[in-house]
Amino acid sequence: MKRLYLTLMLIGVLSLSVSAQVAPTAFSAKAISTSQIDLVWTHNGVTVEKFVILRSTDNRSFSNLAEKEATARSHSDTKLQPGTKYYYRIQAEYKSKLSPTYASAEATTNSLPKPETPTGFEATTTSPIQIKLSWKSDKPTVLEYSKTANFSNVTRKSFEASSNTNTIDALDPATLYYFRLKKSYLESEILLESDWVTAQAKTQDASPDVPGGLSVSGKTTSTIGVRWNSVSGVEGYQIRQSDVQDFAKGVVSADLGADKITYTFDKLLSGHTYYIQIRAKNTINKTDYWSDWSGTVSATTDNTLPEAPANLKAVAKAPTQVEVTWDDQSTNETKFTISRSDQSSDGPWVGVGEVAANSKTFIDNGVLAGKTYYYQVCAVNSAGSACARFGKVATPLPVPENPGKLLVTLDGTNALLSWEDKTAYETGYEIERKDNNGAFSRIYTSGPFSGTGTFLDSKLINGSMYCYRVRAVNSAGNSGYSNEACITVLPKAPNAPTNVQLALISINQVDVSWTDGGGATAYEVQRAEGTGGFVELAKVNAPLTSYQDRTVKTGKTYAYRINASNNGGSTLSESKSIAIPAIPAAPTYTLTVLSSAQIRVDYLNNAGSNATFLELQYALDPNFTNGLSGQTLQVTGTTITISGLQANTRYYFRLRASNNGIPSTPLASDWVYLEATTLPVKPSLPIAPTNLKLTGTPDGRQIAVSWTDMSENETGFMIEYAGNAGFSNPTSISVSTNTTNYTITDLQSCQTYYVRIAAVKGADYSPWNTGQIELKPALPTKPISLTSTVVSSSQINLSWKYTTNTEDSFELEFASNSSYLNSTKRELLKTSRSEILVGLNSATTYWFRLKAKNCAGDQGWVSDSAKTTEPSVITLAAPTALTAMAVSGTQINVDWQDNATNETGYELQYSTEALFTTITQSYTLAAGVVRYSMIGLQPGITYYIRVRAVNGDAKSSWLTGSTTTLAVPLTPTNLTARLIAGNQVELTWDAKGYSEIQLTLIRIRQNDAGVEIERTESIETITGTDLKRYLDLAITPTTNRCCYLIRAKNAVGYSNWTNEVCVSLPVSQTGLPAPTNLQFETGSPVYNQLNLKWNDASSTETGFEVWQSIDGQVIWRRVAELAANTTTYSDRGLRSGLLYHYRVRAVQLNLTSPWSNTIASPAPLVNASSSLPVEWIIYPNPVTEALWFSRLPLEPITMQIRNQAGSIVIEKTMSDASSQSVDVRSLPAGMYFIQLETRSHQYSTRFVKQ
């Protein structure tokens, strides 16, 4: 045995002698310039052949920089980037072995100075379209200019250092331009740019001066001449005249040469006033620029006597209204006068009005019904008048007055109508009826009545509502309708609802829906919990056939059924059940360290089908912020190995079960935490591959990876790639030994990928060699054979061909002009080979263009055009019977009657404005749809809704309605509490608009000094829509004071809580004897457990209550309710070392005895002696570094180490190994206690840390 030991020692000495023993020291880095850093170090020169220097820019990924001879003590690193921080490491190497440690240093290269800005930057306007710029600069410059001060939509130019002026032309006249200039040039392959300098200038106005001196030079009955002063340098004039002063209509204009200063307007009307203006014109770059219009001059042509009107007619339009019409034969009248006679066509005449020139009609509202009149109309101007006359016209009788006070009474299936006759002119009455929600139609026409009209309708049907109206008629027309009067015949009991459906929306919500069986006016939603009976949950008015139950709880099973009702009775539906999932139970798992880079996780899903996946995370710190990674585990799996970890590193793990079966409310268990440390790297690691080369393929979806194999002992290679430099959630690929290339496929084009490779020997990895590449595919080819097919006046179908597979998508653009102004664009899938365009304008030519593209770009458009056909004439019947019902604070259900047979769909709009000035939302619905649910609305808002039928360009008239969404209830008021018996309190309050009340009950017990010593709170829910009273009967005799708060709830939400109200109560004296001699049981103390016993002093108790406290004064909590005659209790799960106080009292129904005596004791830390099985071994004891556990069973064991205060200082799960160790070096010296817990037993012992 001794010989073996000496041999091992000798091997260890020989092994150590071939490695460099000492790393360099005093290693420092100093920036010398913008591109150089000098490195220096010291070394004793023993067992070193050379020095290896590595460099990094992120202090994580290092690459070889240089190898220096053993005598070197410095190195200059050149060709660096300015202003960049570099990290360095140095190690000594001897006989191909590096020193076990390295020295590190860092330095930042000097930054290049920022260039000075250009000087003397000025902008000078030289013409309406030009601005001249000047500046001084010794370096190349970049210029940007824009019409906006924030330089959006800029034009950019670059200039050499020799350029110091530039004229910007083709600008817009009278426009302010903003300019900015900066130096921009490369120096040592670095782009240097100065700050911007700015200037601005406005181009000159291109408009000429306004012509002056416009005046009238002469006039006749048909001409007006004018003159004006010439404007120097203009290219012409435009003159205009109109017979209205604002030139809004009737404008006649003429373009004149620059040499003109006079003009005559001819072919004018005599006696008319005309208004005249003139303006001047300049033309720049084929664009006309006009001056403002001059001031207005006016003139009136000379007049002649007007012609008399012709074809004079008078027609009675109403009993008290006559319309007079004529033909205007004159062109120069200034007005028409109208006269009337009630005697003959020769007068005498009485003037009844006048109208403006060119009028052809006059309404006389001053006549009486049933009389004869004669009319005369005269054309008038300044030269005189000319008149025409018309024979007699008779006014008709008046339309009869509206009937009033329509009444209807029901006698069996007969309806008796009566109404008030208010007119003496009727020839009869029309009686109209509508059935239910239908339209009115005439059912009878009677003769005249005097005083009161009557009618008997004997054609009624059970379960229907009938409404009536009447109107009077004569030869003059019909009166308006009377008031509507309605009756309802009681219906038959409704049919049972069918198709009851339950939908689990979240763990707090079940949506219930059903199909109306017919005849129901309301529904009662009933629910049963578990095996309990059905109770009313809510009432729903027809036609609504759904309800949202937001009171369900996790882990419960509910049954639902619907009770349909009307005035004739009610009928129950079948019942349906649904189970609400519970939060999944937490999983259990263990960690097994396999190597320096791998840890195996063995796990067990304890939630069964209640978990859909397990979520595993691991990191380098217990807060899970450093190096966080993770994986999703299958619930049916049992083990997974985590690879690529850092050697000799502690990792922190957490695992939980999740259930995403309800996307809106995912469920998850608590995290379960463990930790483990990877093994140190073995000295025989394979050498890392070198010369890593990454090459992208033309399709942009593959990477060709190649490398140089530097190792002779690898068993293979591991390639990992990811979309991030930290390699979070990488994809790993194992490659066989001696391989030097591999192709990664199925990648995303135009993405940057990070790739690393390491040589693998068993479970050991060489250092990673890392690279990155951005994949860019070739540009896609153009589509071919783009074809447009006209389908209708509003639809064109497009199709094309595509033979390559380099595109990611297609872009389609179309417009009604070849310049594609105001165009529409669509992004199409790469598999698309056709597209249907609908909603187009009829008889319109559309231009189309299409291109294939991918993330690298495109190669241009292919085009086509087509013209839609003329529209066909379509008549659509408008919908009727619109109803809008608010079912919640965010939803309104809209129903209507479909009267069209040829619609292709419906258009529905809603707004918060009655005139629909602003449309809040618009929907396009399919043909035949008669219901829509508007969701996402605001509570308590009135919404106006309209709907119409559509077929292409054809649309029916709108059908309009409105309703208001529900709002949260108001806070209840006037909450009062009144003591009505020794232990009964009556609550009353006022509230509106709620479906249930939530009540918070507070019970307070005081000592003899009136100090509060016990407080309990609970919340109860009271359902109903008209509750304003509650009786509290569950008050114990020892309660001194009760306080209450309430709030209201409806389908939208909760109101605020009311203020608290309280009432004081007398304490009952029960005479029930208190337990005596409360004490702790003796014997060996049990870890985290105290045992109590007492004497039962009563023979009538129904049970006992055990109360516990930490402070023994104010805060007590009930820990047990025990059966009658019980005299012992064991309180488990205590915290070791804490002081616990106990007291007991007897209970008789709702009465309690006085308290027993109070006792106190700390919970024991551990059993008095070791309880370990004899075959288990824990050593050494005392311990300084590692505590070993040997001969443990092969099953999961939870280990806790506690200090003498009972706090857990180390916790670990051990499994699948009979021998394991725990590092206790971090613990202070002293006594500690160990608890070991298997699936069925708990053991404990103690040890001493030195």
Model pLDDT for residues 698-721, shown as the tens digit of each residue: 888 899 999 998 888 888 999 999
Residue 1024 binned pLDDT confidence (cut-offs 50, 70, 90): low
Q: Which residue has the tokens 């160990």?
A: 1234
pLDDT value at residue 332: 80
CATH T-level topology, domain 1076-1162 = Immunoglobulin-like (2.60.40)
Does pLDDT of 1010 surpass 70?
Answer: no
User: 1200 with 1211: CB under 8 angstroms?
Assistant: yes
Residue 1170 binned pLDDT confidence (cut-offs 50, 70, 90): low
Helix %, strand %, coil % for the chain, to 5?
Answer: 0, 50, 45
pLDDT value at residue 785: 87
Residue 912 tokens read as 């918060």
> What is the percent of the chain where pLDDT is above 90?
26
Quote the CA–CA distance of 734 and 713 in Å, as a whole number.
16
380-395: b (≥16 Cβ within 10 Å) or e = bbebeebbbbbeebeb
Residue 939 tokens read as 């509570």
pLDDT value at residue 378: 93
Contacts of residue 230, defined as CB under 8 A and 6 or more positions apart, other chains included, come to 211, 258, 261
Bond before 1066 cis per omega within 30 degrees? no
Q: Could you state, in order of their start, the residue ranges of all structural domains in the chain?
A: 2-108, 119-202, 215-300, 310-394, 404-488, 498-579, 581-681, 683-777, 784-867, 880-964, 973-1064, 1076-1162, 1177-1249
pLDDT value at residue 1070: 47
Averaged confidence pLDDT in the chain:
84
Q: How many CA atoms lie within 13 A of 157 on its CB side?
A: 15
Burial degree of 27 (CB within 10 A; 0-12, 13-18, 19+): buried
**Beta-carbon neighbour count of residue 669 at 10 Å?**
21
User: 996 with 1022: CB under 8 angstroms?
Assistant: yes
Strands of the sheet containing 973-981, edge to edge, are 973-981, 984-990, 1029-1032
* Architecture of the CATH domain 310-394: Sandwich (2.60)
The amino acid occupying position 319 is P
CATH T-level topology, domain 683-777 = Immunoglobulin-like (2.60.40)
Query: What superfamily in CATH does domain 581-681 come from?
Result: Immunoglobulins (2.60.40.10)
Beta strands in 709-830 (DSSP E): 716-722, 731-736, 741-744, 752-761, 764-765, 769-774, 784-790, 796-801, 809-815, 824-829
The angle at the Cα of 883, spanning 877 to 884, to the nearest 5 degrees, equals 125
Q: Among the CATH numbers 2.60.40.10, 3.40.190.10, 3.90.730.10, 3.90.870.10, which is that of 215-300?
A: 2.60.40.10
CATH T-level topology, domain 498-579 = Immunoglobulin-like (2.60.40)
The arithmetic mean of pLDDT across residues 47-65, rounded, is 89
Q: How far is CA 36 from the centre of its chain?
A: 53
Q: Among the CATH numbers 1.20.120.160, 2.60.40.10, 3.10.20.30, 3.30.1310.10, which is that of 973-1064?
A: 2.60.40.10
pLDDT value at residue 672: 92
* Helix ranges, 776-854 (H): none
Least confidently predicted of 141-155, 369-383, 1048-1062:
1048-1062
Q: Which residue has the tokens 């009474």?
A: 409
Quote the CA–CA distance of 595 and 599 in Å, as a whole number.
7
Region 119-202: CATH code: 2.60.40.10
Residue 585 — φ and ψ, nearest 5°? -70, 150
Does pLDDT of 761 surpass 90?
Answer: no
User: 1137 with 1208: CB under 8 angstroms?
Assistant: no
pLDDT digits (tens, 9 = 90+) for 552-598: 888 889 999 999 988 778 899 999 998 888 888 899 999 999 888 89
The arithmetic mean of pLDDT across residues 1185-1203, rounded, is 80
* Architecture of the CATH domain 784-867: Sandwich (2.60)
Three-state DSSP class for residue 1237? strand
Does pLDDT of 631 surpass 50?
Answer: yes
- Residue 159 φ/ψ region, left for φ over 0, alpha for ψ in the -120 to 50 degree band, beta for the rest: beta
- Whether the predicted model's global pTM rises above the 0.85 cut: no
Count of residues in the chain? 1250
Neighbouring-strand partners of residue 972 = none
The arithmetic mean of pLDDT across residues 1033-1043, rounded, is 70
Quote the CA–CA distance of 942 and 966 in Å, as a whole number.
10
Does pLDDT of 16 surpass 50?
Answer: no
CATH T-level topology, domain 1177-1249 = Immunoglobulin-like (2.60.40)
Does pLDDT of 2 surpass 70?
Answer: no
The arithmetic mean of pLDDT across residues 294-305, rounded, is 86
Farthest-apart Cα atoms in the chain, separation:
160
CATH class of 2-108: mainly beta
Does pLDDT of 1095 surpass 70?
Answer: yes
Of 208-217, 442-451, 973-982, 1209-1218, which has the strongest mean pLDDT?
Answer: 208-217
Q: How far is CA 473 from the centre of its chain?
A: 61
Query: What superfamily in CATH does domain 880-964 come from?
Result: Immunoglobulins (2.60.40.10)
> What is the percent of the chain where pLDDT is above 70?
91
**784-867 and 581-681 share a CATH fold:** yes
**Residue among 451, 454, 455 at smallest CA distance from 421:** 451
The arithmetic mean of pLDDT across residues 1204-1208, rounded, is 71
Burial degree of 1138 (CB within 10 A; 0-12, 13-18, 19+): exposed
Strands of the sheet containing 498-506, edge to edge, are 498-506, 509-515, 546-549
**Residue among 1063, 1044, 952 at smallest CA distance from 1001:** 1044
Does pLDDT of 667 surpass 90?
Answer: no
pLDDT value at residue 227: 93
pLDDT digits (tens, 9 = 90+) for 307-320: 889 998 888 888 88
Residue 275 — φ and ψ, nearest 5°? -115, 135
Q: Which residue has the tokens 């309703």?
A: 963
pLDDT value at residue 1036: 66
**Beta-carbon neighbour count of residue 202 at 10 Å?**
14
Residue 742 binned pLDDT confidence (cut-offs 50, 70, 90): very high
The arithmetic mean of pLDDT across residues 754-768, rounded, is 88
Residue 604 binned pLDDT confidence (cut-offs 50, 70, 90): very high
User: 1076 with 1156: CB under 8 angstroms?
Assistant: yes
Does pLDDT of 925 surpass 50?
Answer: yes
Quote the CA–CA distance of 101 and 90 in Å, as a whole number.
9
CATH T-level topology, domain 404-488 = Immunoglobulin-like (2.60.40)
Quote the CA–CA distance of 1194 and 602 in Å, as a whole number.
13
Residue 1165 tokens read as 């830390």
pLDDT value at residue 492: 75
Residue 1028 tokens read as 């304003």
Contacts of residue 600, defined as CB under 8 A and 6 or more positions apart, other chains included, come to 591, 592, 594, 639, 640, 641, 642
CA dihedral of residues 402, 407, 411, 416 (deg, nearest 10): -20
Quote the CA–CA distance of 846 and 838 in Å, as a whole number.
12
pLDDT value at residue 1082: 67
Contacts of residue 599, defined as CB under 8 A and 6 or more positions apart, other chains included, come to 591, 592, 593, 641, 642, 645, 651, 676, 678
**Beta-carbon neighbour count of residue 1082 at 10 Å?**
8
Q: Which residue has the tokens 């260890």?
A: 12
pLDDT value at residue 1168: 40
Beta strands in 681-751 (DSSP E): 690-696, 703-708, 716-722, 731-736, 741-744
